[in-house]
């Protein structure tokens, strides 16, 4: 993947989000929006030193978090630069396009909503909205076959891999709630669609771990196909960036925990990967993947992430279930970094007939953990 370091630097200086660098493995407590000259210089130096670095990774085919009230701010950022975007056919226009994407990603994080928490809601809250007749859209990004077998009433199906081709079909005039299988690819979609001007949010835990596990879900399911009406223009630069995102053969950018475990055990992980935990500082201190740095998930965090990660390496991001990490991954990939979501996140161990997932799926002691 070609790293767009000019885009990252444009983002840094245009938004003033950097708050200072943290070194090595550890927790960054600051998400201040103040720009530090030394931080900017550090990122610039890292970028120039690693401009030729590309890495590859093995991905999990298992799918999958979110964004929202920032849609209007994101739209606004795109609109304010639309005259520049129209010049994108020229060499100067490419720089303008980078600025549009940088500002749109910044808008997502600077306007990150306090509610719903983490820009997602569990299925039971979506059911309440349906019961109340709230004026919302539902988007199911699972495969067409699975959608046909049953989906939320009124949900429209646009499979994950087809989102870029359908950006102007997806409405931007009402809240849009998205489900996938486990909440991970729908979290990526939440960021991408918010950047594209939609009021997008994630349905927590998706179909397999959320909707179909919620009591009474059968009352909210049908097999009748639904469609969106109308056309909703998207900025050309944003459209091009999202098309490039989905053009990668590696999508949906979920990294297998067992592959990271193997690299840690054979001593190659530190050379190949920058592991980023976005769990809380308290949970990071209790235990984390060896060598991981920590930037807790939340409003304004992306600037600190950019100061702390090593852009010359493959960036493996993990949270609790892979959903909030997927929001970070989508943002970093739009900015040109080779970011991946650790499939299932920190996860949980298998209990009885409930299969575990993520880093802790096999129980304590099977995957390496270190404490702060």
Q: Which residues pair with 276 in a beta bridge?
A: 293, 317
The reported pTM is 0.79
Q: 100-143, pLDDT tens digit by residue? A: 999 999 999 999 999 999 999 999 999 999 999 999 999 999 99
Buried b (16+ CB within 10 A) or exposed e, 336-356: bbbbbbbbbbbbbeeeeeeee
CA dist., res. 235 & res. 85, Å (int):
8
Q: 187-240, pLDDT tens digit by residue? A: 999 999 999 999 999 999 999 999 999 999 999 999 999 999 999 999 999 999
Tell me the CATH number for domain 5-59+253-342: 3.40.250.10
* Torsion angles phi and psi, residue 229, rounded to 5: -115, 145
Q: 247-288, pLDDT tens digit by residue? A: 998 899 999 999 999 999 999 999 999 999 999 999 999 999
Q: What secondary structure letter does DSSP report for 170?
A: S
Domain with CATH 3.40.250.10 in the chain: 5-59+253-342, 71-247
What's the angle, vertex CA 187, arms to CA 186 and CA 193, rounded to 5? 80
Tell me the CATH number for domain 71-247: 3.40.250.10
- Both tokens assigned to 169: 């079909």
Q: 64-89, pLDDT tens digit by residue? A: 433 333 333 333 433 333 333 333 33
CA dist., res. 52 & res. 54, Å (int):
6
* Torsion angles phi and psi, residue 159, rounded to 5: -55, 150
CB atoms within 10 A of CB 84: 16
- Both tokens assigned to 146: 């699975």
């Amino acid at each position: 993947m070609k790293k767009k370091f000019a885009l990252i630097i444009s983002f840094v200086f245009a938004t003033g989000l950097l708050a200072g660098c943290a070194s090595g493995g550890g927790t960054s407590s600051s998400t201040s929006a103040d720009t530090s000259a030394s931080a900017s210089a550090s990122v610039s130096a890292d970028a120039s030193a690693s401009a030729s670095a590309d890495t590859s990774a093995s991905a999990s085919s298992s799918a999958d978090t979110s964004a929202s009230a920032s849609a209007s701010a994101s739209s606004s950022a795109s609109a304010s630069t639309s005259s520049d975007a129209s010049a994108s056919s020229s060499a100067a226009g490419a720089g303008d396009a980078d600025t549009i994407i940088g500002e749109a990603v910044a808008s997502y994080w600077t306007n990150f909503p306090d509610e719903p928490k983490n820009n997602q809601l569990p299925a039971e809250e979506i059911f309440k909205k349906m019961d109340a007749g709230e004026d919302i859209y539902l988007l199911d990004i699972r495969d067409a076959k699975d959608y046909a077998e049953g989906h939320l009433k009124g949900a429209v199906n646009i499979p994950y891999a087809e989102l870029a081709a359908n950006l102007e079909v997806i409405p931007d005039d009402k809240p849009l709630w998205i489900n996938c299988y486990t909440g991970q690819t729908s979290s990526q979609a939440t960021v991408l669609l918010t950047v594209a001007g939609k009021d997008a949010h994630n349905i927590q835990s998706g179909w397999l771990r959320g909707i179909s596990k919620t009591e009474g879900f059968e009352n909210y399911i049908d097999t009748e196909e639904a469609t969106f009406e109308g056309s909703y223009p998207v900025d050309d630069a944003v459209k091009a960036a999202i098309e490039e995102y989905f053009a990668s053969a590696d999508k949906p950018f979920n990294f297998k925990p067992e592959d990271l475990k193997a690299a840690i055990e054979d001593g190659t992980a530190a050379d190949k990967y920058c592991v980023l935990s976005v769990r809380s500082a308290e949970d990071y201190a209790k235990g984390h993947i060896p060598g991981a740095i920590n930037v807790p998930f939340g409003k304004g965090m992306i600037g600190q992430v950019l100061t702390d990660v090593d852009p010359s390496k493959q960036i493996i991001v993990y949270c609790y279930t892979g959903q909030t990490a997927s929001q970070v991954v989508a943002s970093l990939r739009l900015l040109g970094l080779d970011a991946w979501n650790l499939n299932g996140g920190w996860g949980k161990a298998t209990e009885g007939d409930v299969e575990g997932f993520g880093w802790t799926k096999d129980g304590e002691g099977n995957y390496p953990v270190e404490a702060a």
